[in-house]
Structure 1
Amino acid sequence: MSTTSRKRRQGRPAADSLVLDTRSIVRSPGAMTQVQRAAVLPSDIGVELMRIPEGSQVDLDLDLTFVDEGVLVTGTVSGRAAVECARCLGEFTADVAVTLTEMYAVEGTAAADGAEQDEVRLLDGDLLDLEPALVDAFGLEFPMSPICTDYGHSDCVNPDTPAPDGVSGSTEGRIDPRWAGLAEKFGATATDEGAE
């Protein structure tokens, strides 16, 4: 788990930033403010075959609650992910969302001192950086091998890919797109094996 850098940020964050200013919360336990707005990702978030690209917009629907030693962030973050099917290599987009429950400790408190062991993040002065929490949350949420049918498609989006059992109508002369590069390089298909 990564914690917020201790290098101080200068100035107020941009209105569409993932960095939130907590000065609006009255510094008394139980004080709360809501954050409902769009933010733009400064970098890709996700895994190899499924990610929300840099520059994409995500929607924040969060509650920031001041507790004894910091700020508790709860709520959801949603966006649109670019997906590459692990079976057909076809590309499509899908709506995605994660639920966050993250504690950000104020420096100098007991919670901040044990941040690494207790998986607590750190506030950067009055600023709270959501990006590391989203990297972790979406990274755990996204499958390593997404397939089209998991995201509302009845079949793979690439029509040239055989059905999962290896048979999809007439296969004569068709090359599975996953192996097309090898066929081009070696000039042979699976049906040519053994032919003299």
Structure 2
Amino acid sequence: MSTTSRTPRHGRPAADSLVLDTRVLSRTPGAMEPVQRAAVLPSDIGVELIRIPSGSQVELDLMMTFVDEGVLVTGSVSGRADVECARCLGEFTTDVAVELTEMYATPGTAAADGAEEDEVRLLDGELIDLEPALVDAFGLEFPMSPTCTDYGHDKCVNPETPAPDGVSGEETGRIDPRWAGLAEKFGMTDPADSDGDRA
């Protein structure tokens, strides 16, 4: 699984890009270099109803570690995602984060030779482009059908939406408007309503 950098192989990546420059890392096995900064997304990351939009900032809190066959990147990436509730279609933003543990192998090593089978990514010269890893990580983290209650809301942000059982608000015995016609046709109205009519 290779990675394609948007930065020239021998150039210096922009300070706010998702590209990491491993030249700052000592070539001694076990050598470590922290990466703690903001980066700007060049494109949307996410799925249809939840995504971090292009141009947004994400916070990198990572550690690069030099190993015999490449560079190991570990840590977390966080940002804010735009969400459209699959239940009420209301929109809101929420904090999101993923944990990364990604091996980037040096071409020509045994790890690089087995990249496809072992889910190992490849170094692009001396550079690491994090975007493909973030696309995969957030894609697995984000639900396909997010709801308001998935992200800390007690109820849907759109107050007109029926509750999951089809009842809106706190009224008991209320029939979901989508079924009201059938209920009336087959006499499935609330008995209490019928008593009230007879009264």
TM over 0.5: yes
Which residue is equivalent to 1:3? 2
Cα deviation digits, residues 39-97 of structure 1 (max 9, x gap): 00001111111110001000000000000000000000000011111100101011011
Which residue is equivalent to 1:47? 47
CA RMSD, 1 decimal: 2.1
Amino acid at match of 2:3: T
Is the Cα contact below 8 Å between 1:83 and 1:94 reproduced in 2?
yes
Which residue is equivalent to 2:168? 168
Amino acid at match of 1:3: S
Using the TM superposition, give the Cα deviation of residue 191 of structure 1 relative to its aligned residue in structure 2, in angstroms.
4.5
Which residue is equivalent to 1:103? 103
Higher gyration radius (CA): 2
- Identical-residue share of aligned pairs (%): 76
Amino acid at match of 1:82: D
Secondary structure at the residue paired with 1:28? Answer: coil
User: Could you tell me the TM-score, scaled by structure 2's length?
Assistant: 0.83
Between Structure 1 and Structure 2, how many residues are aligned? 180
Amino acid at match of 1:90: G
- Rounded to whole Å, the distance in 1 between the matches of 2:25 and 2:110 is 21
Which residue is equivalent to 2:112? 112
Is the Cα contact below 8 Å between 1:64 and 1:74 reproduced in 2?
yes
Is the Cα contact below 8 Å between 2:64 and 2:71 reproduced in 1?
yes
Which residue is equivalent to 1:90? 90
Amino acid at match of 2:92: F
Is the Cα contact below 8 Å between 2:81 and 2:93 reproduced in 1?
yes
Which residue is equivalent to 1:79? 79
- Rounded to whole Å, the distance in 2 between the matches of 1:3 and 1:49 is 28
- Rounded to whole Å, the distance in 1 between the matches of 2:44 and 2:83 is 13
Distance 1:6 1:112, change over 3 A: farther
Which residue is equivalent to 1:33? 33
User: Could you tell me the TM-score, scaled by structure 1's length?
Assistant: 0.85
Cα deviation digits, residues 166-191 of structure 1 (max 9, x gap): 1114779x97xxxxxxxxxxxxx764
- Rounded to whole Å, the distance in 2 between the matches of 1:117 and 1:98 is 23
Is the Cα contact below 8 Å between 1:3 and 1:132 reproduced in 2?
no
Using the TM superposition, give the Cα deviation of residue 9 of structure 1 relative to its aligned residue in structure 2, in angstroms.
3.2
- Rounded to whole Å, the distance in 1 between the matches of 2:5 and 2:12 is 16
* Unpaired segments ≥5 residues, structure 1: 176-188
Using the TM superposition, give the Cα deviation of residue 108 of structure 1 relative to its aligned residue in structure 2, in angstroms.
1.3
Amino acid at match of 1:39: A
Using the TM superposition, give the Cα deviation of residue 164 of structure 1 relative to its aligned residue in structure 2, in angstroms.
1.2
Amino acid at match of 2:4: S
Q: Does 1:159 pair with 2:159? A: yes
Using the TM superposition, give the Cα deviation of residue 5 of structure 1 relative to its aligned residue in structure 2, in angstroms.
3.0
